Amino acid sequence: MAKGLTKRSVDYSQWYNELVAKADLAENSAVRGCMVIKPYGYAIWEKMQQELDRMFKETGHENAYFPLFIPKSFLSKEADHVEGFAKECAVVTHYRLKNDPDGKGVVVDPEAKLEEELIVRPTSETIIWNTYKNWIQSYRDLPIKCNQWANVVRWEMRTRLFLRTAEFLWQEGHTAHATKQEAIEETQTMIQIYADFAQNFMAVPVVQGVKTANERFAGALDTYTIEALMQDGKALQSGTSHFLGQNFAKAFDVKFATKEGNEDYVWASSWGVSTRLMGALIMAHSDDHGLVLPPKLAPIQVAIVPIYRSEEDLAKITEKVDVVVANLKKRGISVKFDDSDNRKPGWKFAQYELKGVPVRLAVGMRDLENGTVEVARRDTLTKEVVNMDGVDEYVADLLEQIQETIYQKALDFRAEKTTPVETFEEFKSVLEEKGGFILAHWDGTSETEQKIKEETKATIRCIPLEGDKTSGVCVYSGKPSEQRVLFAKAY
């Protein structure tokens, strides 16, 4: 048991907070609501970025960069968009400070007021569509498929490391298309990429679906989402992809000449995932001993701990371990040989467990005599002694197994915590006693959705794309329902 780490069963959110701190992922900063992502946490984010970036480029996207600041007037050009974001915008009003005439420090120079105030981007649709206007004249200029890796600011009242911070890192893709169909296909392609990434790299199973009107992105016609289930039974929206129709093209007057010689507004999509994925990763797999990382995203995949009495012993062990390290690296496995002498092996074992390192090798004099290595896997906390010869191949296989095992475990957990219900009584009791995802019929109205939210605090996470499509009657109103939708309490 990790010293000082609160058990999940005692206080889940405290467990999360302590884990983020103790595993050296992130910490609160001097700026309210803003986090410092520490090197170990950032290394995981970099691994996510690398893979996503590769997937974006494989599907024909290019990276670009747009400004941090957005003129205030841009935001208000799309009515729903400004409505959605206005309440959480940071605003730049001045461009200069001066010495405080009354004494120490500096004050805002009232002489230096901006003619037009600037919004710190909460998202970049407006500045990008203002720019795209200049890039697009003809259907030959389309499609445009840009992505940017950036920070955004949404002035949240209550924040939690990774899950909701006032500033966060993300990528936002913004595409422009000649046809509605193509824009819809792009929107769907990207949500599929997010789902693939979540499942194959993060080992987090997700439900793909469409958001209801209430939960839709401000300015979108349709929002596709991937929803993941955390160990406390709450849902986490982990990625979204929006079909924007011609809303932003109309707001920013972006027209193009069609093949037929007509003029038409451009069709748009946008899509993003953020450092919130870190929260999903942490809460999906980790246990009371600490972080559990999927091998594909672990900054250190293998930690090697030497066990020795004398310097001579260490030298002998190091000689053997160097070969193992070289062989592992040849296979593209990231490995850390921890020969620091200021910690005992037991401390190191606990530390690498806390940090979620998938595989730990221990090598002592006993192993040198027997030609063996002790192999411990983080996900099951089991240990085996194997031959040192060929341990690199053994570890390579094991890493794949761990990736698969933790995905399967998360999938089983979700299956167990997904409950179809037929009545509102059942809905409430399942939500109360079991939590998790609830599949229920819904009459399709915002009123019913709102009522259910008020009475139970559960929201419609999405209308799933896959699964049971049979019709029924709404659990709340008794009116006809086309298919079951996914309810849960959410982060």
Partner RNA sequence: CGGGGUGUAGCGCAGUCCGGUUAGCGCACCUGGUUUGGGACCAGGGGGUCGGGAGUUCGAAUCUCUCCACCCCGACCA
| Residues of the shown chain interacting with RNA in the complex, contacts defined by CB under 7 A | 1-5, 13-14, 17, 28, 32-33, 84, 87-88, 154, 156-161, 163-166, 168, 215, 217, 237, 240, 274-276, 289, 307-310, 341-342, 344-347, 349-351, 353-354, 362-367, 374, 376, 381, 383, 457, 490-491
| Residue with smaller CB distance to RNA, 381 or 415 | 381
Min dist CB 12 to RNA, Å, is 8
Return the number of the residue (134 or 382) whose C-beta is nearest RNA: 382
For residue 422, the minimal CB distance to RNA (Å) is 26
CA angle 384, 385, 388 (to 5 degrees): 130
Nearer to RNA, 3 or 330 (CB): 3
E strand map for 38-120 = 62-63, 69-71, 91-94, 97-99, 106-108, 113-120
Q: Is 489 helix (H, G, I), strand (E, B) or coil?
A: coil
Q: In the bound complex, what is the minimum distance in angstroms from residue 60's beta carbon to RNA? A: 25
User: Contact, 399 vs 360, CB < 8 A?
Assistant: no
The token duo for 112 is 């230096």
Picking from 274, 292, 294, the residue whose alpha carbon sits closest to that of residue 283 is 292
Which residue's CB is nearer to RNA, number 178 or number 335? Answer: 335
Cβ-based nearer residue to RNA, 136 or 353: 353
Nearest approach, Cβ of 388 to RNA (angstroms)?
A: 11
> Residue 173 — φ and ψ, nearest 5°?
-100, 140
Beta bridge partners of residue 107, listed in sequence order:
98
User: Of 274 and 403, which CB lies nearer to RNA in the complex structure?
Assistant: 274
Integer Cα distance of 162 and 281 in angstroms: 10
Q: How far is the CB of 259 from RNA (least distance, A)?
A: 37
Task: Report, in Å, the least distance between residue 308 CB and RNA.
Answer: 6
Residue type, 9: S
Cβ at position 168, least distance to RNA in Å: 4
Q: What is the DSSP letter of 208?
A: E
The answer to whether 22 and 10 are in contact (CB under 8 A) is no
Query: Nearest to residue 139, comparing CAs of 243, 258, 283, 316?
Result: 258
Cβ-based nearer residue to RNA, 139 or 491 = 491
